[in-house]
Structure 1
Amino acid sequence: MAKIESDKLFVKDVFQKWYRIPEYQRPYVWGPDQVTELLDDVYRARQSNPDSQYFLGSMVLKKSDKQEGETKYEEYDLLDGQQRLTTLFLVTAVVRDMTHKANEARIKTCRDTIYQMANPDDNIPERSRIVFDIRDKVRDFVSQYIKAEGGTLKEDELKLFSQNTDEDISIRNMAQAIMTIQSFFNNGSSVDDFFPFLRSNVLMIYVAAEELEDAFHLFTVMNNRGIKLRNSDILKAENLSKVTDEKTRTKYAKLWESIEEYFSEDFDNFLSHLRTVLVKQKAGYNLLKEYEENIYAPKEFDRNTKTYTNKPPLLTKGKSTFDFIEKYYKHYLELFDQDNYALTNSFELFNQLVLMRFGFEADYWIAPLLRYYDKYKMNQLLPFLYLLDKKFSADWIIGLSPTKRIENANAIIKEIENTPDQTALFDSDVFGIEGQDFDRVITGSIYGRRYARYILLKIDFAYHGHTTKFSPPETISIEHILPQTPDSNSQWCIDFTGDDREKWTNRLGNLILLSRRKNSAQSNKDYAIKKEKYFKNNVELFSNSIRLFQSYPTWNKTDLVNNQKEMLKKMFYLYHINVTDAEIEAKVQ
């Protein structure tokens, strides 16, 4: 690694340097909470001890030599720390515009902090202290509302920017930040106390390298030393450092940014699915270490020699990684962001995906689905999805451990890659389920089990049909038709003995889904009242619940047992388990 430059600087000295936010950087994303927290932290430090020093954070920089005419100077690309530095930049603009004209010294301080006029004698170029290369529109906004004196006072225009969801995210957040800073000072925080302390007592640490790869490595090291960065941020930095062409690096940075914006907090999870597609083993490390050791530099352990040997990389850093992520991002959109009605002239594929995403407690199944789609696209996708659902839900229902279920997911990915066609894949043992264990579970009491809601959703899905979209409501409760604790003088206690209630109350045939939370008082009413007053307006979204109330005008033991048989037949059919009517009859005795 080349020479590393490092120092601690007060804020007033931080803004003696020249910075650039490269095109491949993330936008300005701080919202009111983060901006207010920074301001409050500085203000509290000053109130606690006006002579104290306060550490604000760090910056990771890539250093470059620049020349404009005869003026030579050093410029620093911001790889980490741009959110804080941009916020300080905005604070300075707000303070400038809130300062009375009589205070010429402070106005000049702010003016020079934001935009420095040329001084060839001192090798000072004419330019902004921070150049925003991330978007042309951002540069224009900075020029009009931050560089221009009085720009932060254009409240109506800034409010429109902050509320326009179609506006560039950096502009939207900068406009909001300006208003947040103004509110901070307008609500009792003295500029005269705050601003001198900020400039002369608040410290930042920076580390800088001349080589881009070294600077990105520092970015990673800073993360390992406790500066909180997301796995995806580090992975992005590692890969961008391997792209030497500036235009290509910018293209990939913008691609990454758009994917990251789509997945939001689930971006690391998406990258984890891609890791699974490549490695096909349960993750043993965090996401970054998995990519580094199992994708970029995999090794194989020889038990005889007790040594590791290098294996070919599954991906290389840079273009290979970005292209792979982009390809699977497109797969994801094609699968989950379209209704795919034309595939079967119905919403069957869309509905099956809704069932799995809404009903499963884990998403191990997404990696096998992505790998199948990568190989076969839409060809026989629906039969594959039904097999995938059957396997994953059955493994969950019979109580396999998460580790075993992950192993089964990886086995499916391997089978997708190793079989010559879908026929061989669909006939594979990897989709087999433990029929006896499955039988034992679903014929017994299922209420209170984590998979109970999924079983009821799956049955509802089976009765739903696919001319319309399957759209379960956000609020769902599992309701007993025969109550768990009926009143002793109710019809329930006439129609069902104590032994009957103990045996049947929590079984599949006595359970339905409601589109509301439970109402204990209504839940114990007799069937006729309950059906009319409680169920009538809360089952309209559930096809199986509607079927039940249309089929059963009463609800006694015979009705419950008949519905249990109906539900068991449906479940065995859905899971491809051959059971005769006589066998079903025996299961309800």
Structure 2
Amino acid sequence: MTIQLGLIEAHEQTIGKIFSDSYAFEIPPYQRPYAWEKEQATELLTDLLEAMDNTEVSGGVYFLGSVVLIKSPADPKSLVVDGQQRLTTLTILISVLRDLTSNEEIRINRRSFVFQKANPDSGTVDRYRLLLRPQDRSFFSKFVQVPGATNELPDPANLQGSQQRISENAIYFRQQLARMDEERRNKLVAFIIQRCYVVAVAVPTPESARRIFRVLNARGLDLTPTDILKADFLDRAGQALETDLASRWEAIEQRLGREKMVELFGHIRMIFERDKPRIALEDGFPKFVKPFKGDADVFMTDFLEPLAEASSFLSNQQLVRDRFGLDAHRAVQSLNRVDNKDWVPAALLCFWKVQDRSKVANFLIELERLTYFLFCVRAEVNVRIGRYVEVIDLIDPLPDRPVPKIGLQLSEAEQFQFLEALSGPLYTKTRVCKPVLLRLDEALSSGGATYDDVVSIEHVLPQTVEEGSEWAHLFPAEQDRKDWTHRLANLVLLTRRINTKASNWDFSRKKTHYFASDDGSSPFPLTQGVLQTSVWNSQFLKDRQIMLIQALAKLWRLDATLLARADEFKGKSLTPPKPNGIEEGTWLDDTVLALKELGGQASLSDLYKQIARLRGETKRSLPTNYQAIVRRTLEENSEDSDAHRQRHRLFRNSDKGKGLWSLA
């Protein structure tokens, strides 16, 4: 079947026709690396076998989706715009089946689906049916396409990236197919070649292909915004620069990872746009990052590579310490613990623009203070972005931008709000508590403590006090217990999981057998202070609270005496907390935060994963029906939904066909 729509041709083809002289496939340099993992390879093989065996259900055929090609009607040369993952995996599968064939004549014939032999009569030349990107081409030829190559496959543990995936999937296919008898393997080859179909969509120009590339995502990995931007970038660069720029782009992507690459482009966009993103990254980046639309080599050399280097540097704690000192190192370590990355564009810009190391070090220390102020008072995203944009304007002033009013500094009113947040029931701020405690402990430490995911927070005075217990005697007034239970002075760090039974032990037993290690000490100064006292009552907590708040005030250069002047700040305009009464730790709060961290727009599947991660990090439950809860939360707080409950207007269903949701 052939469909012709203007310059677009769509042909339904068997795999036998796809891997014939009609097509000469080549993966262009701008494509992302081969990325299918064993999970996708398993799914493909399972689907093929089920379709082959259950003809009543499948009709004896199997559809593999579509491939998008830049191809002229009379020329077999086919640049693969979409479909690389399937074509590569099918080539691996057919190559393994070829090498397992015992009959030499049949084995030679099966080579024709992988290799095109020169034929002067038909005008063909020797070439492989599929040429991967230049970076992987020789590896794929040596270990997959050459006859007998899959008999001795390299150890994936010694490889990385796309070559590791190729080897892993070839080994998987080899293991599975070797268990079958030859008759069943022959049947599978015939089914793949004769009864499996794809729709080959051919367009003559890269521009047309890119448009289809953005909407046709067949089974496998979704396109990222940077995949789309890369295709646009390399197409504009021209053939002379394409290979070199593609290699440099992929070197950055391999160093950072695909997710970090998308994050980097979001940060670069913020450096240029200096406002809350309101359109998708793939649309907003070319609009606001003007150098991207200019000379491609200049953008790569003067913008992308140095900012990518800054991003890598920011992730390397040892390099930060070596270049900028211990205080800057601790500040960056602490910054990486907060629940958003809004501070990163300013840090990247500073690394990029400021050469004086002492100035960079001081900037990082000041940036940590500002970030933790916004973090602890739970400033909403518009407030955070507005403040960080002022910092960006300080580093890189532009003639059309207003002069920043305050930037990195904190007013007395903001210092008071910061101190008040630190002095209150910190434990109830689920995302804030642990980063603050770790930073405080680090400030008190001489360097002996280490901090990782195993560190947990425990209450000294337990959250639930049993009648007649020692705790009831030490804190007879219920209000007194409520006042102190979740505050800084009553919290300690442990290098073990929380033991709910031990939580209610008497103080002396809890201290000796729960808080202390085998040698009777603790690596955490916060916890060591508990081990060194014989009393735990209201007066001790009051004194300890003052001491700890003073330590944080010293760390973040806050005037602790402002707490005694609370009346002066009543009625003053402070940075607002979360808008519209959204309670911390609720599904609504999680959904808003997850969308923010995903750049303001995400598919439901990505949103589910992000919310699951957030709740996992804070050790909160994730019921089996959590996806339904998230959908209901979105719909009840969106004017686009009939289920809208009129209270909040927080979300938009930005593309109902794709299930995309964004912040309103």
Amino acid aligned to 2:340? A
**Which of 351, 360, 380 is the matching residue for 2:338?**
360
Is the contact between residue 264 and residue 311 of structure 2 (CA under 8 Å) also seen in structure 1? no
Aligned-partner Cα distance in 1 for 2:102–2:330: 63
Which moves more between the two structures, 502-511 or 286-295? 286-295
Specify the SS of the correspondent of 2:233.
helix
Q: Does 1:39 align with 2:37?
A: no
**Which of 142, 148, 151 is the matching residue for 1:153?**
151
2:61 corresponds to which residue?
53
Amino acid aligned to 2:150? T
Using structure 2 for the length normalisation, give the TM-score: 0.75
Cα separation, partners in 2 of 1:191 and 1:224, compared to 1, 3 Å: closer
Aligned-partner Cα distance in 2 for 1:520–1:60: 57
Superposition deviation, residue 176 in structure 1: 1.9
Is the contact between residue 21 and residue 133 of structure 1 (CA under 8 Å) also seen in structure 2? yes
Aligned-partner Cα distance in 1 for 2:180–2:40: 19
Specify the SS of the correspondent of 1:124.
coil
Specify the SS of the correspondent of 2:237.
coil
Aligned-partner Cα distance in 2 for 1:452–1:582: 20
Amino acid aligned to 2:524? F
Is the contact between residue 37 and residue 169 of structure 2 (CA under 8 Å) also seen in structure 1? yes
**Which of 157, 167, 178 is the matching residue for 1:175?**
167
Amino acid aligned to 2:86? R
Specify the SS of the correspondent of 2:428.
coil
Aligned-partner Cα distance in 2 for 1:568–1:584: 16
Superposition deviation, residue 325 in structure 1: 1.6
Superposition deviation, residue 408 in structure 1: 1.6
Specify the SS of the correspondent of 1:120.
coil
2:457 corresponds to which residue?
478
Which moves more between the two structures, 513-522 or 224-233? 224-233
Cα separation, partners in 2 of 1:147 and 1:269, compared to 1, 3 Å: closer
**Which of 252, 257, 262 is the matching residue for 1:259?**
252
Aligned-partner Cα distance in 2 for 1:444–1:428: 26
Cα separation, partners in 2 of 1:192 and 1:369, compared to 1, 3 Å: same
Cα separation, partners in 2 of 1:568 and 1:44, compared to 1, 3 Å: same
2:535 corresponds to which residue?
554
1:113 corresponds to which residue?
113
Superposition deviation, residue 519 in structure 1: 0.7
1:191 corresponds to which residue?
185
Is the contact between residue 549 and residue 560 of structure 2 (CA under 8 Å) also seen in structure 1? no
CA displacement 1:55-74 (0-9 Å, x = unmatched) = 21222223379xxxxxx963
2:641 corresponds to which residue?
none
**Which of 289, 299, 316 is the matching residue for 1:295?**
289
Q: How does 1:440-479 map to 2 (within 5 A)?
A: 440-450=420-430, 451-465=432-446, 468=447, 471-479=450-458
Aligned-partner Cα distance in 2 for 1:163–1:429: 46
Superposition deviation, residue 486 in structure 1: 3.2
Amino acid aligned to 1:191? R
Cα separation, partners in 2 of 1:325 and 1:32, compared to 1, 3 Å: same
Percent of aligned positions with the same letter in both sequences?
27
1:522 corresponds to which residue?
502
Q: How does 1:57-456 map to 2 (within 5 A)?
A: 57-63=65-71, 74-101=76-103, 104=105, 106-135=106-135, 138-154=136-152, 158=153, 160-164=154-158, 167=159, 169-188=161-180, 190-222=184-216, 228-246=222-240, 248-264=241-257, 265-296=259-290, 315-316=293-294, 318-323=296-301, 324-337=303-316, 338-343=318-323, 346-357=325-336, 359-377=337-355, 378-418=357-397, 428=407, 431-432=410-411, 434-450=414-430, 451-456=432-437
Amino acid aligned to 1:175? S
Aligned-partner Cα distance in 2 for 1:456–1:553: 23
Superposition deviation, residue 315 in structure 1: 4.9
Specify the SS of the correspondent of 1:434.
helix
Is the contact between residue 370 and residue 408 of structure 2 (CA under 8 Å) also seen in structure 1? no
CA displacement 1:111-135 (0-9 Å, x = unmatched) = 1111122211112222221233523
1:11 corresponds to which residue?
15
Superposition deviation, residue 477 in structure 1: 1.9
Which moves more between the two structures, 379-388 or 279-288? 379-388
Which moves more between the two structures, 182-191 or 283-292? 182-191
1:491 corresponds to which residue?
470
Superposition deviation, residue 2 in structure 1: 9.8
Using structure 1 for the length normalisation, give the TM-score: 0.84
> Pairwise CA RMSD of aligned residues?
3.3
Is the contact between residue 388 and residue 407 of structure 2 (CA under 8 Å) also seen in structure 1? no
> Rg larger in 1 or in 2?
1
Aligned-partner Cα distance in 2 for 1:6–1:178: 30
Aligned-partner Cα distance in 2 for 1:125–1:27: 27
Aligned-partner Cα distance in 2 for 1:438–1:251: 50
CA displacement 1:13-56 (0-9 Å, x = unmatched) = 00112122344443332221111111112222233326443221
Superposition deviation, residue 489 in structure 1: 3.2
Is the contact between residue 4 and residue 207 of structure 1 (CA under 8 Å) also seen in structure 2? yes
Is the contact between residue 459 and residue 486 of structure 2 (CA under 8 Å) also seen in structure 1? yes
**Which of 516, 528, 544 is the matching residue for 2:526?**
544
Aligned-partner Cα distance in 2 for 1:585–1:564: 18
Superposition deviation, residue 425 in structure 1: 8.2
CA displacement 1:419-443 (0-9 Å, x = unmatched) = 99xxx98975764462333343333
Aligned-partner Cα distance in 2 for 1:395–1:10: 59
Amino acid aligned to 1:14? I
Aligned-partner Cα distance in 2 for 1:445–1:227: 43
Superposition deviation, residue 205 in structure 1: 1.9
